[in-house]
Structure 1
């Protein structure tokens, strides 16, 4: 588990770092979904992207 990090005297909770990492992974997977053509098969793409972000964030918090 991460501890608090600081940048120029401002403390950040560990969830901020986890959320940034999850956002990066979600953006990479989003590009992969578009390039493979999977996006046309999804009914509500923004909902799938939010669910993907939440799943990645929860995995990062649980295992790292």
Structure 2
């Protein structure tokens, strides 16, 4: 994976691709959690979503870089 990607003449970090993939995974997991009503066991759903996003992106970045 290259360190930089050219997007319309501007350079973007290579981790941008993995970030977009992790956002997609977050949306999928968030839909499943919401559909089964598991957010009632979570104290602060927005904070839980942020922590889940950090965990997903961090694990993808550490595995691939």
What TM-score, normalized to structure 2?
0.86
CA shift digits 1:3-59 (9 cap, x unpaired): 121122221101211211111111111001001110111110000000000000011
Instruction: Tell me the distance in 1 between the aligned counterparts of 2:38 and 2:6.
Output: 39
Please name the residue that 2:28 is paired with: 28
Tell me which stretches of 4 or more aligned residues in structure 1 moved more than 6 Å. Answer: none
Instruction: Tell me the distance in 2 between the aligned counterparts of 1:13 and 1:26.
Output: 20
Unaligned runs of 5+ in 2: none
What TM-score, normalized to structure 1?
0.87
The 3-state SS of whatever aligns with 2:11 is: strand
Q: Which moved more, 1:7-16 or 1:28-37?
A: 7-16
Instruction: Tell me the distance in 1 between the aligned counterparts of 2:61 and 2:15.
Output: 8
Q: CA RMSD in A?
A: 1.1
Instruction: Tell me the distance in 2 between the aligned counterparts of 1:7 and 1:26.
Output: 24
